[in-house]
Structures are given as structure tokens and as C-alpha cells.
Structure 1
Amino acid sequence: MSTPIEQPNHRARDATVEEAFAQCHIPVAICDAELRVLRASRGMVQEAGLSEDQMRGRRFTQFMPDSAYAEVEGGMRRVFKTGAVEHLEVYADSRSEPGERVWSVTLSPLRNAAGTVHHVQFTAVDTTAEYGARERLALLNEVSARVGTTLDVAQTAQEMADVVTGRLADFVTVDLLDSLFRGVEPRPGAEGVALLRAAHQSVLPGVPESVIRVGEVDHYPPSSPPARVLVTGRSTLHRSLDEDIARWAAGDPQRSRTVHAHGVHSVMVVPLRARGITLGVAVLVRHRSRAAFTEDDLFLAEEIAARAAVAVDNARRYTRERTTAVALQQSLLPQHVPGQEAVRVATRYLPARSRAGVGGDWFDVIPLSGARVALVVGDVVGHGLRASATMGRLRTAVRTLADVDLPPDELLVHLDDLVPHLAAEEEAAIDHDLEIATDLIATCLYVVYDPISRRCTVASAGHPPPAVVTPDGTVDFIDVPPGPPLGVGGLPFEGVERELPEGSLLTLYTDGLVEACGRDIEAGLKRLRAALAGPADQLEEVCAAVLDSLLSGPPADDVALLIARTRALDSRQVASWDVADDPAAVAGARAEATRQLAAWGLEETAYTVELLVSEMVTNAIRYGHPPVQLRLIRDAAVICEVSDNSSVVPRLRRARTFDEGGRGLLLVAQLARRWGTRHRAEGKTIWAEVALPEG
């Protein structure tokens, strides 16, 4: 039979409750309707720094001067009014430990037998550690979301400084190796202790703590913490007056003044390391926050720096790849405009700033025979090194075909036939594990301008039409059939002719100009028309005005722009004669050429031109079909042209010792600066250029 448990009497029970309350290590207090303290636990005594008797009869705000307790009293009033439990998160300084603490406060109603709230119980739990962990996790999440949004080294560093400032530090600097901004692989120790200020940020307006500006070089003494961190790759934590900081400040008076002026009291120096290489250092400073950095803060800063370093290294690698692509692109574009007199030209090429990289846009100016000139713009679909390399091959092909003097529509036909062969070669060369193969498609606009007839012939392979500005300021677009893009095949190209007044502006461009900022091509053409309608005194100014009007910032796609002002050769610069279909007419042709050269004051070229006229006219009479015509053009050179109605092209060959013929074209090739053949609608023209005398 079990012995009944003896029930404690009320007095003993009350004594136990009293002991439990008095010895409770958690801050607990009971307040009356006037918010005055009636009871306080040992934890409350310890936290307030007052005895229970000293607190009794006083309100929290009378013995806890921190403004956070005004919020607590407001919560108590609501408990008396509503009878519901209140939960608060209070940030207040601790009397028992240095620094600000985070408290989870619960305000509970105490009711009497009638159910009326007549007291309120205050309970506080120190959640500083849990709050710090949540804040560190939130900061890391924000770093992941905000740092590395672009592939720009400086922007990435600035993003890190912006995120950390105000959350972990009051002032942050990020200094990086100078080679990173050029995309060069960093080498440990190669840069010494001279680092480029990539970014800084402060809780104070204007970043007054910084002794240098962003973009300037900061020289750190070898014994300074940043220099040692750069060499060792290990973080350091300092009080402002410790030996390392004091020695660093002593060697830099300006930095020393800044440290003392702003009351810097805690410093962390953290390396930015990626792939085992130190890319730079970040310095984190506190001067407004009273709490010093802790080891936990250092671990957090190292994690942030590690994530930022990966983003910086990615940006560095992108910078290197983009620099390589741009260098390739620039090397494949014309380095200077070739000498010719038909047009005056201004050009612009702006590489894309998108993550996809530079594209395959190009332009060209190609001198042709008969004082004519070819103007070309093109665009390979896609971005990156492949597009740039393909652009270079197409541009070379266009120049080769232009030397054959094909009409624009025929040239595009041959170029279109070439594209599938280039695509097949690229397909065979692609490593499909590393790169996705895409169809090779390009657009091209080919314009030939003749300054003698003032006519231009245009053909397009899926390219936007050229704009024309006449001397009276009228702007319109040449209505050229667009044709299919190169690489599509199966469809013809069509050329159109238009006569242009002298001094007209021809504007050729790629779609990156008119389709910038996400607008459709019609809106872009309208803006281009408006931009070209302005004053057009200097071609460089016209280029700048067009780019300023159509681009609001760095382009997302490559932009190629070519603007040419047409010239016309005076009738006194051209002379032509019909030549009879008789070998005896050769002497008369030579005499006419000699007289014309004398009228131009070019007697020094007479002997060479006579020989050329003799050989070329003789060949036309002997092997061609009438009518035969001789034409001399005075331009940047003396151009001699002989035309006939035969489509048979003469072929240069080496005559054997006892051959009686076969030396005429060889003589022409050696006497002329350039020579060649071009086909006409009926027949052909043989031409040769002779350099003008010096001066």
C-alpha cells in the first residue's frame, strides 16, 4: 500500500515561488497600472545595475535611459488596454556587457480573480547572437544578389563596398591590382604594394575618410597591414591604436589625420582571393558604430570578400576576352581610309557592351577604277570571336571581288555563294562540346559611286537602306530592294541607280544604330532622318550628332557608321575620243593624249601615257570589237581607259624569246601603278593608272 504524497502548505508554496522569481537569471519585472516596477528578478537587477528596492516604484524610463524603453512602456499601455500579449524586439545598451544588445521582450497581462488586468509582466531574453546570425545570413544573401550583376571590374568592386557599408562597416575601401582592369592574369607580387582604388563607400556623405579618389593608385608601405595581407593572403583584425595601425599611420601623415579626425577605432583588412590568387584587399573601418569588430565579423568579411573576388575574377576574365575580341575586330577593320578623290569619308565603329561580346559589323572604303569608289557596310549575325573572324573573311572576300570590278548585284551573288563554304569550314572547326554551332548569316550593303557621272549604284543583301542628304537639306532613303541576307541563297539581288548632286551625303550604317534602346527599325530610321537634317558642315560633327541622337549610352549591339560626302569631277578633268577601227588610228590617239596632258600641265607623264595608249588601243583594235573609245581622267592619278565591245578579257603572260607578240600587257603592268579590266553591259574596259609628278 503506497504512502500518500504530503501536499505542501500554501506558505511553503509561496516561499518556493518567491525564491524562483528572485533567483531567475532572466530579466523579469512586474509593473502596476502606472507602469511602476513592483518586483524584479535577479536577471533584471543584474541588467539594470540597480537593486530591486532601487527599482521599485519607478518606471523603466526613469532608471533605463535608453530610448528603446519608451517603446516598452507603450507596449505595456496596450496590454492594459487590450489584455493581449505584446512581443517586441528591443535594441538597447547593456549594463552588464559592453555594446548594444538585442532583446526579445514579452509583455504578458496578469489578471485578478475577476479577470481584470491589474499588472503586466515584463520578460526579456537576450537574442543578440541569434539576431547577429540572421543579419549575417541576410547580408550574405544580399551580397550574392547585388555583387557581380555586371561584368565590369570597377562596378563589381563598388557593389561590394555599397552592400557592406552601413551593415558591417562605416567605411570600406576596395583596392585591386592594376592588371585586373586590363584583363591580364594577375601574378602574386608582380604589382608590389601599389594598388588601384577600385571603389570606396562611407556612411558619411562624400566619403571624407578616403585619402585618394577612385581610379588613383594607393601606395602601401611594405610593413602596413594591406601590404602584408596582399602578400600572405590572410586577413587581419586591428584596434585603431594597436602597433600595426600606429606604425602605418605614422608613415602616412594624411592618413593619420583622417584616422584621428573621424575617431576610427576598429579595422579589418581582408584579401580578395580567387583561384588561389590574391586580386586585391578590402579595408573595413568602424568609427560611428561603437562596437569593435569581432572574430565573427572577420569571418563574415572573409566570406563576403571571397564571393566578391569570384565576381571580380569573372569580370576580369570577361574584360580579357572582350579586349581580345575588340582588338581582333579593330585589326580587321580599315586602319585608315584609302586615298581617293570621289568622296570625303568619316567613320565610326562602336563595339557592343553586352555580355554577348562584340559582333561582326564592319565598314570599308574601296577605291575602284575610273576614279570610282565602293562604300561597304556589313553585319555578321551573332557575337564573339567567331563573328569577328567571319567578318574579317567576308571583308577580305568583298575587297577581292571589288578588284574584279563587278557590279554591286553581281558582287553580292558571288559573296552569297561563298558564305555556305565559310559556314561548312566553321562547322568542321567548331568544338561542339564548347560552342553551339549556329547558321552563318550576314547582311551587306554595297554602294559604288562614280564622280564623273555622279551616279551611285546600290545593292543590298538584307541590309537597311542608305540615307541620302542632298545639298538643299532634303533627307530620304534610297529605295533599294533589300534582297535576302547572305547565306540564305536561292534568291536574286537587284541593284538600283541614282544620280546625286555634288556635295550630297551618303550614310551607311548597321542595325545596331537604328534599333538601339529596343526601338523598332521604323522609329530608328525616323530618328536618323531627323539627326541628318541638321547642319552638316563637318563630317566628324555629323557622325557625332547621329550617334548622340540615336544612342543613349553604350550600345547593346555593334554599331558601324560610314558617312561620305560626294564630289564630282569637273568636265575639264575628263577627256574622251572615239577611235576608228584601223591600226593607223593609234598614232592619232597618242597625239590626242599628248595634247590633253599638256593642257593639264602633266607633260612629265606624257611618255608613259603615250606608251600605254599605244599598247591598249592597239590591242582593242586588233582583238576587240568596235566601237573603240579612249578616255583620260585626271584625278589622284592619270587614268587611261580603253573600251571596246568585246567581252574577251586579255590575259597577262610571259612571252618567249622568239615570240613576236605577247609583251603588250606586260609592258602595261610595268609602266602603270595599277591596271585591270572591268566589264560593262556591252564589252569591257581596260584601264591603267599613272602616278602624278611630285608636287
Structure 2
Amino acid sequence: MRALIADADEVRREALREELARHGHDVTVATSTQELLAGEHADPPPELVAVGWRVGDDPALELVQALRAQTPGDGPVVVVVGEAPEVDVVAALDAGANDVWGIAPADDLPRDVAIRLSLAAHYARLQAEHVRVGGEFALLRRALDLTGTGFILTDPRLEDGPIVYANESFLHMTGYALEEVLGRNCRFLQGPATEPEALDVLRDAVREARAVTVELRNYRKDGTPFHNEVHVSPVRDEHGEVVRFVGVQIDVTAYRDAGFHDHGAAYLAAAGPVIDATLDLRATLDSIARVSVPRLAEVCLVDVLGDEVVERLAVAAVDPLVERAVERLPEAYAARDDDPVVQAMRSGRPAVLDTEQAVKVLGPEGVRLERRRPRSAMVVPLKARGRALGALVLASLERERAFEAPDLGLAEDIGRRAALAIDNARLYESQRGVAQALQSSLLPSRLPDLEALEFAASYRPFGEGMEIGGDFYDAFPMLGGATVLVVGDVSGKGASAAALTGLARHTLRTAAGYEDRPSRVLEALNRALVLDRVGRGRYCTVALAVLEPGADGAGSVGVTVSRAGHPVPFVVRADGRVEPIGRPGTLLGYVQDPSLHDARASLGPGDALVLYTDGVSEALVSRRADGEEWVGELLEGAHELSADAIARKLEHAAVAAQGGAPRDDVAVAVARVRRAPAAA
């Protein structure tokens, strides 16, 4: 893959060149506008062009426009790179850039380090979202283009929440070209007959960062209207911040105008992707309710029955006033034998209800609705794997048609798909909860709080919390007043890693009760792993430190460190110096007689000892320095930080270097000698 760079900032240009080369790009650097534009005609042409905010005397916006003018159609991915506050994101996107890599200066990092971390995060995001870079992502883009369903991404962090990605189906549906879409808010699809009530629902959901499905009358570029079913879901990063909104858009004009009787199959095909768009249980329930309105009914509810109480989990209605009125009804009420919803859930049989029964489906307060009481209703049990999960309740309001047998058949079809989606979401949440609970049980519930030492740790598992990671940390007292601080990384993931982590932690704690040196403690763990391995490949790397408060009365702490195949720990001195500590040793569980060593040092008031796993060091690998050296550089300037702030700084740097989604566990443990209180 070829990449072309043009940037007047030498430090930023070199960091960008190294980042792209690290990801396998054949990088060419253009030092002038002429070389930049000429490079576009190379054979083969570049797939990625990175333009600094200024190249020579020419601003990036003019250069991007020139690039787009000479490469019409499907040209390279063009990104604009600059530091805040100089970067005008909206202007760059309007000029034709695919993305803007804004680099915020960091007070606690050297400028070149901050640039490299920012570029790594931006490139990871480019891989994930601008799928024109790399074969795997090109396949993903082609798959999205073949779905027949409009798919867009918007960025709420940018002014006016512009579109930053749109697939071919969205462009075909709306009639716009890609360059006319990127950088604009979706409101350009609105027109004179767009429903203001639906827009209010959509805006409220976006403002509150929750999933929503609405139907809008939108307009194509040529002015023709179409019925657009829009499903919007927030995408959050590892800190819970909303960084994107995903918009799935379906043209439902054909069966909206003609009625859904003749288009049941088309409706089911369109509804499936919306219902399956997320594994979040609440978002799934909301999608089920929204996708059923108005094609199946004017009001849709999702209810569950448990402990003789009916609980309402989702509500959607064509009329926003009706929806708000239903939402104000009790979310839970006592189950009654004459309640048609309860009867359907208990019997497992669907039913079409007349007006007299339909008024009961909204709950005991349903008959008090002042606006448009139900005329007809359907209740469809939601069943999966042989058990009832709840009921899909569909109501037709006054002056609308009554439901008939064909309607019930279509409702049952959507109910089966909805039940499967709910069951999958519940299973996913249950498994994630089990994994997170087990992961928590493998880490200490709290760290020691000593008069002489301050302890802190930070841990981030890889992925979405579904898999149990192999990193661990611990801190516990030894006989004689010393304290052990340990960080380790076991082989494997999942249940096998959990079992091995438990074995390692308990063995270390037990051995520390009778061994007096870190290397001897690690030897005990090695013996346990070798005996337990039996060809299963159970290995472990560990950095273990024993901290002993000194007897000199000056507040010093002696530290002895032993490393078993683990990244080098660092001592951050109170005067700002950063020193590695510990000699390399053998991976545990591999040989019966590992080579292990003890290294001793003294920590004074304000000094800190930092242990971490390779999820930190390997995330920070660069060409000019290996990952451990970069950890040392990151710790420069950390001498004034608390133990907790030091741990969080390394964790955030490692996660950022992995594009915000860790591909490996990250664990950091810090012990800091408390400073003596200032004299009164």
C-alpha cells in the first residue's frame, strides 16, 4: 500500500512517516506543492494522502481541493493533519478531506510523543471507519455497499455532527454524490413535508445519546420525497464518550404507500438488520418497538412477566403525544387473570383483540388515555429456546383499521425474530457479566494503605469485556512488615487464563509467607507451573517487588525486584529522573531451573516504583525506541503525579496507541513513597 505525505512541520511529518511505515505502507514524502500534486499521478497511485495544515506557503484546504479536482471519482483517502486550535475540521471536510487528524498538545508529554500517540489513535480509527485502506477493510466496505441498506456514520464531536462515512446504498437512495454528503448534517434530506414530531423524537434521542428509530419523509437530490426509516445508535469509546452515531436508513416507500399486506416479506427483510443492529438489551427492545411502528401498528409495546408483575420495557407510537401518555403509565403493575397480555404470555398463544379487550393492553390505566383509545390490538408471545421472554403488544387506534388474521401472521414472524434478538442480547449481557465478575475476582478488591507507601493500580481488559484476560496485579503484606507488589501476564485467554491466574496469585501469596527474596518466591511459582503444566503450555511472566520501610528515620523504603520474562520496571525519582530496575529473567513454567535475579535499590520520599504488563510496552513500540524505552519516556515528568495518576497515565497512553480499543490487556501497578508533611 502506498502513502504520500506533505507537511511543513518536520517533527509531525517524521512521526507520520514512521506511523504509516509501521503499518506496512510504502511512504513517499513530498516537500512541496508541486511534488504533492505530481505524486498523485504515480503508478501505482497512492491509496492514502496525508496533508499538513500548511505545505510551503499553501494552506491545506486549497491543496485538498486541488487533489480532488485532479482525481475525480474514487480517489485516495485524504486526511488533513494539524494541531489545535489551527485546524478547522468542518472546512477541511467541506474541501473534500475524508478525515481530519487533530493533534491536541499535551502538557505532561513531550510534543513528539504526544504527536505519535495521537497519530496512532487516528490511524486505528481510519482503519476501522474509512474502510478504503487495507484489503480487509476494503472487503468490509464492499459488503456494506451490497447490503441495499443506507449506512452512515456521523461525528458528534465535530460542529453540527457531520457525516464522516456513507455507503453506496445511502448515495443511491438519496441521489447525492459522496462529496456532496461528507461533512454535512443529515438535515439536508429534510423538506417541506418532513414530520416535525418525528424530528423532535430524533433530536431528543441524539441529545440524550440513546438509540432511536423514527420514520421521516425525506427528499432525494432531485426533489422527490421518500419514506425513510431511520435507526440511530450511539457508539461509545472505552471511556463511555459518544464518538460516533451509526445511522441505518431504509427506503420503505413501496410498502408504506401501498400498505404492508403485500409487502410482508420486504418488511421482514428490512426489519431484520434494524433489530439485530446491537447486542445492547435496551437498544434491542427499543428497536423492536420502533421497527413495528407504523408498518404493523400505531402503538407497540414490549412487556415481560415475572413474579406476577407485568413490566413494560419499551414503548413506541406514531403519535408522539400518545407515546408520551403511554410512557407516563406505570411501568410495572400486578398481573391479572383477565389481562389479555398476561393470558398470551402464560398460554404462549397469540391473539387478535377486539375494542373491548384492546383498551386493556396498555395496562390498568390504559382506558384513561384522553387521546385516541385503542380500537384493535394483537398480542404475540415472545418465545426463544422453549421459554417465554415476554410479549409484543400492537395496538390500532380509533379511526384506524381493525387487525385481521394476515396481520397476526406478520406480527408472529416479527415476534419470532424479536424473541431471538432479545434472547441473544440477554445471553450476551449475561456472559459479559459473568466474565467481568470472574475477572474482578482475580484482582484484589483493594490495595494496602500504609503510612509510608501509597499504592495504586489500573487495569483495562482487551475487547468488550466478554473475554477474561491474562494480566493481573496484586499487593499484599509479608511477615516482618514488608509488602509485595506484583504484576503478571499468564498465557491464554478465557477460562484457562482465569484458572492459571488464580493459581499464580495464590501460589505467590503462599510462597511469600515463607520465602524471603523475590527470586525465591518466583521459583516457587515456577515449580507449581511446571508440575501443573503436563504439556498444556501454561506459562507466566511476572515482575515482583518486595518493599521494606527503612529504619533510618528518613522515610526511605528499600525495594528488591525480580523479573521473570517480564518488561522492565521503572523507578521515578522525586527529582524527575527515571531509572530502570531489575535484570532479565526466565519465563516461568518453561524450564525447571529458571534464571532469576534480585536487584536492590532505595526509594526516598516522593519516589515511585512502576510495574506494568506488555499490553503497555508493546502498544508503544516505535522505530526509534522499543516499547520499554517509550514507557520510560512517558514517565519523565511524572514525578509530581500521585500513584493513581501515574497508573492512569500509562493505561491511557497504551489504550490510545491501540486506537481506543485494546488488543491486549493493560495492567499497571504503582507504589509511591509518601512525602514527609511540610513543617508548620
Q: TM-score, normalised by structure 1?
A: 0.50
Q: Distance in 1 between matches of 2:298 and 2:487?
A: 53
Q: 1:397 to 1:208 in 2, by over 3 A?
A: same
Q: How many residues align?
A: 417
Is contact 1:170–1:289 with CA below 8 Å preserved after alignment? no
1:135 to 266, 270, 281: 266
Give 1:372 deviation, angstroms. Answer: 2.6
Q: Distance in 1 between matches of 2:408 and 2:616?
A: 49
Give 1:252 deviation, angstroms. Answer: 0.7
* Paired position in structure 1 for 2:285: 157
Is contact 1:193–1:219 with CA below 8 Å preserved after alignment? yes
1:386 to 496, 518, 525: 496
Matches within 5 A, 1:16-165: 101=258, 131-139=262-270, 142-143=271-272, 145-148=273-276, 151-165=279-293
1:218 to 332, 351, 357: 332
The one-letter amino acid of 2:588's match is: L
* Paired position in structure 2 for 1:227: 342
Give 1:375 deviation, angstroms. Answer: 0.3
* Paired position in structure 2 for 1:503: 606
Q: 1:502 to 1:175 in 2, by over 3 A?
A: farther
Q: 1:567 to 1:321 in 2, by over 3 A?
A: same
Is contact 2:651–2:666 with CA below 8 Å preserved after alignment? no
Q: 1:305 to 1:517 in 2, by over 3 A?
A: farther
Q: 1:320 to 1:228 in 2, by over 3 A?
A: same
* Paired position in structure 1 for 2:541: 443
Is contact 2:519–2:596 with CA below 8 Å preserved after alignment? yes
Give SS of 1:382's match: coil
Is contact 1:481–1:494 with CA below 8 Å preserved after alignment? yes
Is contact 1:366–1:402 with CA below 8 Å preserved after alignment? no
Give SS of 2:574's match: coil
Q: 1:397 to 1:191 in 2, by over 3 A?
A: same
Is contact 2:621–2:627 with CA below 8 Å preserved after alignment? no
Q: Distance in 1 between matches of 2:456 and 2:636?
A: 14
Deviation string 1:487-526 (CA, Å, 9 cap, x unpaired) is 3337633444443332223333344567789999967985
Q: Distance in 2 between matches of 1:383 and 1:202?
A: 45
* Paired position in structure 2 for 1:404: 514
* Paired position in structure 1 for 2:59: none
Q: Does residue 1:243 correspond to 2:356, yes or no?
A: yes
Q: Does residue 1:562 correspond to 2:676, yes or no?
A: no
Q: Does residue 1:461 correspond to 2:564, yes or no?
A: yes
Give 1:397 deviation, angstroms. Answer: 0.8
Q: 1:210 to 1:442 in 2, by over 3 A?
A: farther
Give 1:365 deviation, angstroms. Answer: 1.2
Is contact 2:459–2:651 with CA below 8 Å preserved after alignment? no
Is contact 1:457–1:498 with CA below 8 Å preserved after alignment? yes
2:589 to 458, 468, 487: 487
Give SS of 2:472's match: strand
Give SS of 2:371's match: helix
Is contact 1:532–1:542 with CA below 8 Å preserved after alignment? no
Supply the RMSD in Å over aligned alpha carbons.
Answer: 4.7
Q: 1:318 to 1:487 in 2, by over 3 A?
A: farther
Is contact 1:465–1:477 with CA below 8 Å preserved after alignment? no
Give 1:213 deviation, angstroms. Answer: 8.6
Q: Distance in 1 between matches of 2:399 and 2:572?
A: 65
Give 1:369 deviation, angstroms. Answer: 4.4
The one-letter amino acid of 2:378's match is: M
Q: Distance in 2 between matches of 1:499 and 1:416?
A: 27
Is contact 2:264–2:410 with CA below 8 Å preserved after alignment? no
Matches within 5 A, 1:310-325: 310-325=420-435
Q: Distance in 1 between matches of 2:342 and 2:643?
A: 51
Q: Distance in 2 between matches of 1:518 and 1:206?
A: 57
Q: Distance in 1 between matches of 2:558 and 2:607?
A: 11
Is contact 1:444–1:462 with CA below 8 Å preserved after alignment? yes
Q: Distance in 2 between matches of 1:280 and 1:518?
A: 51
Matches within 5 A, 1:532-547: 533=637, 539-540=643-644
* Paired position in structure 2 for 1:194: 310
* Paired position in structure 2 for 1:421: 531
Q: Distance in 1 between matches of 2:614 and 2:398?
A: 53
Give SS of 1:346's match: strand
Give SS of 2:491's match: strand
Q: 1:339 to 1:211 in 2, by over 3 A?
A: same
Matches within 5 A, 1:610-625: none
Q: 1:532 to 1:307 in 2, by over 3 A?
A: farther
Q: Does residue 1:346 correspond to 2:456, yes or no?
A: yes
Q: 1:514 to 1:286 in 2, by over 3 A?
A: farther
Give SS of 2:423's match: helix
Q: Distance in 1 between matches of 2:484 and 2:252?
A: 77
Is contact 1:271–1:280 with CA below 8 Å preserved after alignment? yes
Give SS of 1:403's match: coil
* Paired position in structure 2 for 1:34: none
Q: TM-score, normalised by structure 2?
A: 0.51
**Identity %, equivalent residues:** 32
Is contact 2:561–2:581 with CA below 8 Å preserved after alignment? no
Bigger Rg, which one:
1
Matches within 5 A, 1:367-386: 367-386=477-496
Q: 1:372 to 1:568 in 2, by over 3 A?
A: farther
Q: 1:164 to 1:454 in 2, by over 3 A?
A: same
Is contact 1:342–1:566 with CA below 8 Å preserved after alignment? yes
Give 1:171 deviation, angstroms. Answer: 4.5
1:309 to 419, 430, 438: 419
Structure 2, unpaired ranges of 5+? 1-223, 225-250, 551-555
Q: Distance in 2 between matches of 1:529 and 1:196?
A: 54
Give 1:152 deviation, angstroms. Answer: 4.2
Q: Does residue 1:173 correspond to 2:301, yes or no?
A: yes
The one-letter amino acid of 1:397's match is: T
Q: 1:556 to 1:448 in 2, by over 3 A?
A: same
Deviation string 1:7-27 (CA, Å, 9 cap, x unpaired) is xxxxxxxxxxxxxxxxxxxxx
Give SS of 1:359's match: coil
Q: 1:477 to 1:150 in 2, by over 3 A?
A: farther
